[in-house]
Structure 1
Amino acid sequence: MATLIDDLGFTQLPTMSNPPLISVSRFIQQPRLKIIFEEVEIKAKVIAEKGKLSLVVVEIRRK
């Protein structure tokens, strides 16, 4: 999940005018715990830019 968030934040930079909206199903299984399956919505947006630096915020919400 963390890699997906990093990749989405990076791909947001060239597409600042039209932010992508991604919906994924997340499946988590941990030893001795019940299986968690939920659908989440991931949205990224550029907050600030200064020279070669950009600040991107990635939001994750349950659907």
Structure 2
Amino acid sequence: MPDGIKNIERLRKEVASNPAAHNPQSEFSAVITATSPFCRYDTDHDVYVFPITALRP
């Protein structure tokens, strides 16, 4: 998980520093997992984590 958090933070910085970005501040960040048994919100890193099965109707 620490590598994933580092990657999300790096991506946020890249988007914010892009002069062509129309929305430099992201509304939210999410990690979609394959097998997580539940959805959660990581308040320490401001990231939603949920399984791909949560997207089905």
Please identify which structure carries the higher strand content.
1
- Common fold by TM > 0.5: no
TM-score range relative to shorter protein: 0.3 to 0.5
Please identify which structure carries the higher helix content.
2
What TM-score do you get using the length of structure 2 for normalisation?
0.42
